[in-house]
Structure 1
Amino acid sequence: MRSTMHTTHLRIRRILEHGARVHANSRIVTAGPGGARHEEVSYAETARNAARLANALRALGVGEGDPVATFMWNNQQHVEAYFAVPAMGAVVHPLNIRLPAEQLIHIACHAGDAYVIVDHSLVPSFLPLLPHLEAVRHVIVNGPADLAALREAAAGAEVHDYQALLDGAADTYDWPDLDERSAAAMCYTSGTTGRPKGVVYSHRSVYLHSVEACLPDAFALSREDMALAVVPQFHVLAWSLPYAAFLTGASLALPDRFLAAAPLAAFIAEARPTKGAGVPTIWGALLRHAEENPETDLSSLREIVAGGAAVPASMVRAYAHRHGIALLQAWGMTETSPLGSFYRPGGPHSRAGTPVTQGRFTPSVEARLVGADGQELPWDGQAVGELQVRGPWVTASYHGDDETHGGAFDDGWLRTGDVGRILDDGQLDLTDRLKDVIKSGGEWISSLALENHLAEHPAVVEACVVGVPDDTWGERPLACVVLGAEPVDAALLKTFLTERLEQRWQVPEYWSFLSSIPRNSTGKHDKQEIRERHRNAALTVITV
């Protein structure tokens, strides 16, 4: 028997058309200086601007399958590119503006970017890169900028004004009927374990990922919401929030370059978002700002989602008890589009004493735990192994490379490099990254567990733990700590940890107090940098 259902391809143009017609009056609000509203546009007008951009790009020579890079903050024009580029058959490629110049040049050249849309505020950062981007033929600048300086540095590339291009283009476009398996977008990994690797998302994968991101056990978006997208659009497509918003009618609040706690808090008070998404460092800074400035108005927010790094339980409690905001947690990677699992506390099936985890796997993501011997491990909350996943939005290879990348894949499964356990009710509890597990005297110590315990101390702003060489045990933990105003010494913190760990030998004897923890381009602790500083004796280390 054959199905009688209509064969309809899942395309990003359909998300755009649905948002423009069904949710025409939902809106995108972009922040300006000091957190004020800078721009506001409806979804219907966004769709017309996307058509104008597609017409302009086509006139410049953009064809099907061509990558179009963006070097932009989260703003209205970036969302227009999110839709216009893939809907016309090209591939949108958000460049991570926080990567080092050498990596950005490698990525843009590896992807073959010939067209780049750049925010005017980022032109000073983009100018030094441009002479090295030999494939770039057209640079489009969003906002007021010195185009003459860009043309001088462009070495033959044409430079255009974004708004001028749109003003001269039609506001309708004959969107092609693309195969849902064709490329729609691409992002590169952060490159913390070697060269950044390209992941290419299909129309099908983006569509399915966006649908599941809206589910009640995930972002739970509806047209009654306004979603604050603090997570950068160059971080795995802002976790699909722009696409999910157009599917559900939730409005979008975009902070542009105003990400410091004070302007972000002002923008929240002005735009009144109900939900938000960002990395833990953003939410930690906002929480500290609110505590230091009691007049801060976060009352519109009901839920915020953190991803990219583990969330300290103390932060979850602080948001809940002091502001009535549920801080949720999601797990994922560039390779998983990124949504892999989602944690929501409470509910009819929650158990007393259940720890804060990375949540349950989304319906379309298959997962397994694999031990050091290559055997699959049970979901019993006890066995610890490497997490492997597969699914319709999990990559099966990397762009332009036939290599295995050091065994990144195992018989069709993506090796995530994350270590943890899976509870018998399907919750993922990650304990570390494979490369960050501390191997001491033949036993494993979870750096993540030590960090979470240290974060519970009221004097600790943040903590990062790495393994350092030890003549006796092979490796021992080094705790790097950032303190607040309250004075505390290493001996007190060691006692604090000892009272919370079942195995006293896991407590660090090496301590370093820093003004800040170095971070990589995705906002995670740069443990490689800390190890390098220790290796070069560039850290002041106390032994207790």
Structure 2
Amino acid sequence: MLGLMQDRPLALPHIFHRAEQFFGHKEIVTATWGGGEERTTIADWAVNVRRLATALDRLGISEDARVGTFSWNTAAHLELYMAAPCTGRVLHTLNIRLFPDQLTYIANHAEDEIIFVDRSLLGQLWPLTDKMPDVRHFVVIDDGCDDPVPDDPRVLNYAQLLAESEPFTGRFEVADENTAAAMCYTSGTTGNPKGVVYSHRSTVLHSLISLIADGPGLRETDVVMPIVPMFHANAWGLPYGCLLAGTSMVFPGPNMTPGAIVSLLEKHRVTATGGVPTIWMGVLPLLDDHDLSSLRVMLCGGSAAPKSLSEAFREKLGIPFLHAWGMTETSPIATMYSPRSHHAELTEDQRADIRARQGQSAPLVDLRLVDPDTGEDVPWDDVQTGEIQAAGPWIAKEYYKGEGGGAQFTEDGWLRTGDVAAADSYGFVRLVDRTKDLVKSGGEWISSVELENEIMAHPKVAEAAVIAIPHERWVERPVACVVVKPGESLTAEEVIEHLKPRVAKWWLPDAVEFIDEVPKTSVGKFSKKTLRDKFAGYKLPGS
């Protein structure tokens, strides 16, 4: 017996039309180059989406073409977020922090036909354009920068393109909810970056997660500022969630300095925001000089945030981070923290430990922990650890064009995430490490993440990353790479003394190296690969 419900596709046109019909009065603010701001409404934004839809047709862009973007977080970028998929095309956000060879590879592998680029980023992209034969047009979006624009027939002006295009009338339709809506490339796997293709169905379902109470809980009364880049797993789905809920939006544009971010949060009385831990590390020292009392949700993800950082924000602002975990392949939200009834009887220190976890799996997402050596399931006893494997309607089942040969996917269809964790009996995940970042010393595992968190709890430490160094006797031993806060001084001995009461004796780093900055990946995570390359050949004491 079948149900008797209407069979209507879960597709992005619904989110667009809902925002256009109900929330046209809501404001979208974009910070521009040089400190200015541009303001629009969802109603005017929607007209631009309709003009852009016509423009893509007028330019002869294929029906299912990949539409590349090389842009900051802006209202114009949000227009592309809807115009491309609502016309049956595929939004392809290009990471502005990638190396030139990676960027060229990705644009060519995706077969982008057109790329929209912010003027302040054009100088970064233009030298590569002759190596992108499939790209027929480069559309320059004015973000307030006055950098020169090449006199080339392939170059178009975004504002002029919209002005010359009549708005599409009627309703957008996507008949098959499994049609591709957007794609992002991940560099978190071996070899070349691999394409993750999101469907309309997966994107709509994932968007609902940002509205649930045991999560960001976005609502119409919110003012939301997505700090996480719109090229990083579609800004964790926040732009779609904002349109679905009808929130006001603030986009930080090209100025991503901590000072600019905290000023926007204060000026626009932002209530919900999200960013990676390195962003919040930069903002923390500025909190005393700004009023951020309007904030009710601070989403933090991308990598495990130190407990000391989360608790520092809680002490300053009265709210802890809303921890989340995921990856490009999980759209990206797979788990979220929120307090539960069984936490009420815990001590404050115990609750702080819980707040530092990545939380329970999101509704509709299934997780399991698997021993990477035996393939056996690991019990959720908060002691034993295993690789997180994920399954669900917004979890990737393979990479674009079959890249990777299925190595990251199990025979029964689960995603191998490469993250190692433990989980308690309630399903609260405690991220331990990446499989490639664990330190295996004498046959036992040492968590680089836990060591880093304890080091960064030292009041004089700004950043810390722990890497494995080969050792003749123990196979590998940990080395701590530490960044000292400006104006402070610190010795290796002080770091070790700080750690002694906090970790097992055999976890203590064999050496502490002081560096100017922990290198970052293209999405703001600590780049331990860069550190491992830097310290290749490093000789440990006694090895």
- TM-score normalised by L of structure 2: 0.94
Per the alignment, residue 398 of structure 2 pairs with 397
Of 336-345 and 406-415, deviating more is 406-415
Q: Give, in angstroms, the shift of residue 147 of structure 1.
A: 9.8
Q: Give, in angstroms, the shift of residue 383 of structure 1.
A: 2.1
The alignment partner of 1:467 has SS state of strand
Alignment of 1:136-535 (within 5 A): 136-143=135-142, 149-152=149-152, 158-174=154-170, 175-191=172-188, 193-290=190-287, 294-345=288-339, 347=341, 349-350=343-344, 352=346, 353-354=350-351, 355=353, 356-371=356-371, 372-401=373-402, 403-484=404-485, 485-501=487-503, 503-535=504-536
Which deviations, in whole Å up to 9, do the C-alpha atoms of 1:56-110 show, x marking residues without a partner? Answer: 0110012321100000000000000000000000000000000100000000000
Q: Give, in angstroms, the shift of residue 464 of structure 1.
A: 0.1
Whether the 8 Å contact between 2:33 and 2:253 is mirrored in structure 1 is no
Residues of 1 paired with 2:431 and 2:345: CA distance?
A: 19
- Which residue identity does 1:123 align to in structure 2? L
Q: Matched residue pairs, number?
A: 533
Per the alignment, residue 17 of structure 2 pairs with 17
Which deviations, in whole Å up to 9, do the C-alpha atoms of 1:506-542 show, x marking residues without a partner? Answer: 10021110110011101111111111111155xx988
Residues of 2 paired with 1:12 and 1:422: CA distance?
A: 34
CA shift in 2, pair 1:227/1:149, >3 Å: closer
Which deviations, in whole Å up to 9, do the C-alpha atoms of 1:255-310 show, x marking residues without a partner? Answer: 001110111122122222101101111111011233xxx43232222221111111
CA shift in 2, pair 1:140/1:347, >3 Å: farther
- Which residue identity does 1:233 align to in structure 2? M
Q: Give, in angstroms, the shift of residue 323 of structure 1.
A: 2.3
Residues of 2 paired with 1:79 and 1:369: CA distance?
A: 37
Whether the 8 Å contact between 2:408 and 2:415 is mirrored in structure 1 is no
Q: Give, in angstroms, the shift of residue 367 of structure 1.
A: 0.8
The alignment partner of 2:396 has SS state of coil
The alignment partner of 2:51 has SS state of helix
Residues of 2 paired with 1:91 and 1:243: CA distance?
A: 15
Whether the 8 Å contact between 1:226 and 1:275 is mirrored in structure 2 is yes
- Amino-acid identity (%): 40
- Which residue identity does 2:499 align to in structure 1? L
Residues of 2 paired with 1:472 and 1:121: CA distance?
A: 52
Residues of 2 paired with 1:33 and 1:407: CA distance?
A: 40
- Which residue identity does 1:297 align to in structure 2? D
Residues of 1 paired with 2:127 and 2:42: CA distance?
A: 35
Which deviations, in whole Å up to 9, do the C-alpha atoms of 1:12-37 show, x marking residues without a partner? Answer: 0110000111122122111135655x
| 2:63 matches 1:64 | yes
Per the alignment, residue 75 of structure 1 pairs with 74
| 2:26 matches 1:29 | no
Residues of 2 paired with 1:186 and 1:207: CA distance?
A: 14
Alignment of 1:84-103 (within 5 A): 84-103=83-102
Whether the 8 Å contact between 1:35 and 1:267 is mirrored in structure 2 is no
The alignment partner of 2:422 has SS state of strand
CA shift in 2, pair 1:405/1:534, >3 Å: farther
Which deviations, in whole Å up to 9, do the C-alpha atoms of 1:226-261 show, x marking residues without a partner? Answer: 111000000000111111011111111100011101
Whether the 8 Å contact between 2:194 and 2:399 is mirrored in structure 1 is yes
Whether the 8 Å contact between 2:194 and 2:403 is mirrored in structure 1 is no
Which deviations, in whole Å up to 9, do the C-alpha atoms of 1:466-514 show, x marking residues without a partner? Answer: 101111111000100001133221111101111111x201100211101
- Which residue identity does 1:492 align to in structure 2? E
- Which residue identity does 1:340 align to in structure 2? A
Which deviations, in whole Å up to 9, do the C-alpha atoms of 1:140-179 show, x marking residues without a partner? Answer: 1101778985344xxxx62110000111112234423331
CA shift in 2, pair 1:179/1:351, >3 Å: farther
Residues of 1 paired with 2:408 and 2:295: CA distance?
A: 42
Whether the 8 Å contact between 2:30 and 2:75 is mirrored in structure 1 is yes
Alignment of 1:35-50 (within 5 A): 36=36, 38-50=37-49
Residues of 1 paired with 2:542 and 2:406: CA distance?
A: 38
Unpaired runs of 5+ residues, structure 1, are none
Residues of 2 paired with 1:412 and 1:67: CA distance?
A: 27
Q: Give, in angstroms, the shift of residue 405 of structure 1.
A: 4.9
- TM-score normalised by L of structure 1: 0.94
Which deviations, in whole Å up to 9, do the C-alpha atoms of 1:415-435 show, x marking residues without a partner? Answer: 000111111011111101100
Residues of 1 paired with 2:240 and 2:71: CA distance?
A: 17
CA shift in 2, pair 1:95/1:351, >3 Å: farther
Q: Give, in angstroms, the shift of residue 313 of structure 1.
A: 1.1
User: Root-mean-square deviation (CA), in Å?
Assistant: 2.0
- Which residue identity does 1:253 align to in structure 2? V
CA shift in 2, pair 1:181/1:389, >3 Å: same
Q: Give, in angstroms, the shift of residue 543 of structure 1.
A: 8.9
Q: Give, in angstroms, the shift of residue 368 of structure 1.
A: 0.7
Whether the 8 Å contact between 1:35 and 1:266 is mirrored in structure 2 is no
- Which residue identity does 1:9 align to in structure 2? P
The alignment partner of 1:127 has SS state of helix
Residues of 2 paired with 1:498 and 1:346: CA distance?
A: 32
- Which residue identity does 1:28 align to in structure 2? I
The alignment partner of 1:314 has SS state of helix
Residues of 1 paired with 2:283 and 2:35: CA distance?
A: 13
| 2:116 matches 1:122 | no
- Which residue identity does 2:180 align to in structure 1? A
